[in-house]
Amino acid sequence: MDLRCYKLLILGGAVRLYFSRTPLAGLISNRVEFATPLNSYKRMQEGVYLLQHGIDPYGGDLVHETPLLLRAMSTIFTSYPEFLPLLYILLDLSTAALLHLMSSNFVQQKLQQQRSELKNYAKDTGELQYTEDDKYDIAELVLIAYLFNPLTVMNCIGLTSTVFSNLILALLLYSLMKRQLLFCLVLLSFETVRSLYPAVLIAPLLLIFARRSICAGVSIFTLFVACCMAMAGANFLVMNSWNFLDGTLGFIFHFRDLQPNIGLFWYFFTEMFEHFRTMFLITFQLNATVLYLVPLAVKLRKEPLLLATVLIALMAVFRAYPSLGDVGFYLSLLPLWRRCWKYMSHGFVVFAFFLITLVMMGALWHLWIYAGSANANFYFGATLAFSTGQIFLITDLLFAHVKHEFCLYNGQKIIINGEEARILLE
């Protein structure tokens, strides 16, 4: 990292520190768009208090963080609470730095791949290829996209545990680029035991470490399951009880808290007849995990990092308790695919969706909860539109990647019957 990146990190830290000392921090920590039953600062604070006083935090239905993280945070929560904002800021800056280093490694690997495939590229594709400057430009764009995205800034000052999730995911992506298998498995198992959905990231891991060997793939998957069991055992040692499994993974899968959020679960299951609940619960959870996994893994088998990016984005859309902090994380990965941007055709539509729906969420929440002049349909309409905008973005990125790969090998201008052809995906 050069001096400019360190200056950006300092500036990003200063922005977070400033806003953490304003009333905005308290407001964000109570907003349902950022704080969910899984990542709420108040719920973690309650869990730490109960754990320290020998009370099972999972005896009720309030605490849903893992015992390991509760134990790790107990000292600073009780003895040094004034340093909590500083700790979260340092963790968030570490996430940004890791994403910067990961991006630089990714571009370096892309350059090596291009050198070996250059003879197969069409002649007019220079602007579609990665360059040496991209090692610095793309990495810097990723750094800026994370440090100064309002969603990640507010997620940090709201003291949500999504800050920890983002750090673990950034470490995981960096370890993937550095080909550190064991570290990847430990990180992935820790996050899987915490929030279930990251288990799907085993797919890009297998594509990198077991591309040509089924036996190696089975061994890695078995090792992943063993790591998950070991992580669950470590949590058991903290609590001397298995209650945490129902309070974390069980709570997520059964969706027991219908508190509104930016996701698709809460409104649907509020209106659901109880005798249909199990069927639709399984359907929604399959949609959030394995439904897209196999087709995407087959199509993106040569681009494991793009697969990881898309899976992280789909998790942010379809998981049971999403937050805007999850959205901010995957948005910061988009500059990695800068060479595909030329073929993304819904940029304005997506930007309009994001801007309008984010503004409308706050307004409609106030009208519903405080003014009493609206109802849940209004707020859910805004969150549904926001999810639609995210789907537009994800599909646009996938289509742009397909077009980019096609043009690399076939050229940007294809002449049929003397006329330039248009590339359309149907």
- Look up the pTM and report it: 0.94
Which residue type occupies 122?
A
Distances (CA, A) of 23 to 167, 325, 360: 25, 19, 21
- Return the bridge partners of 416, or none: 419
- Tell me how crowded residue 259 is: count the other CB atoms within 10 A of its CB: 11
pLDDT at residue 414, rounded to an integer: 65
Q: What is the pLDDT along the chain (426 residues), one digit of tens a residue?
A: 778 889 999 999 999 999 999 999 999 999 999 999 999 999 999 999 998 888 889 988 889 999 999 999 998 988 888 899 999 999 999 999 999 999 999 999 999 988 888 888 888 788 888 888 888 999 999 999 999 999 999 999 999 999 999 999 999 999 999 999 999 999 999 999 999 999 999 999 999 998 778 898 999 999 999 999 999 999 999 988 899 999 999 999 999 989 999 999 999 998 888 888 999 999 999 998 899 999 999 999 999 999 999 999 999 999 999 999 999 999 999 999 999 988 888 889 999 999 999 999 999 999 999 988 888 999 999 999 999 999 999 999 999 999 989 888 887 776 666 666 666 655
The DSSP 8-state label assigned to residue 69 in this structure reads H
**Opening angle at CA 60, ends 59 and 62, nearest 5:** 125
DSSP per-residue letters across 145-199: HHHS-HHHHHHHHTT-THHHHHHHHHHHHHHHHHT-HHHHHHHHHHHHHHHSGGG
The residues near 425 (Cβ < 8 Å, ≥ 6 apart) are 399, 402, 403
pLDDT at residue 162, rounded to an integer: 95
Question: Sign of the CA dihedral 308, 309, 314, 317?
Answer: positive
The residues near 397 (Cβ < 8 Å, ≥ 6 apart) are 309, 310, 334, 337, 340, 344
The residues near 418 (Cβ < 8 Å, ≥ 6 apart) are none
Which residue in 33, 167, 160 sits closest to 99, CA to CA?
Answer: 167
Rg (Cα) of the chain, in Å, rounded? 22
pLDDT at residue 373, rounded to an integer: 86
CA dihedral 118, 120, 122, 126 (to 10 degrees): -10
Q: At what angle do helices 162-178 and 202-209 cross, to 10 degrees?
A: 10
pLDDT at residue 227, rounded to an integer: 95
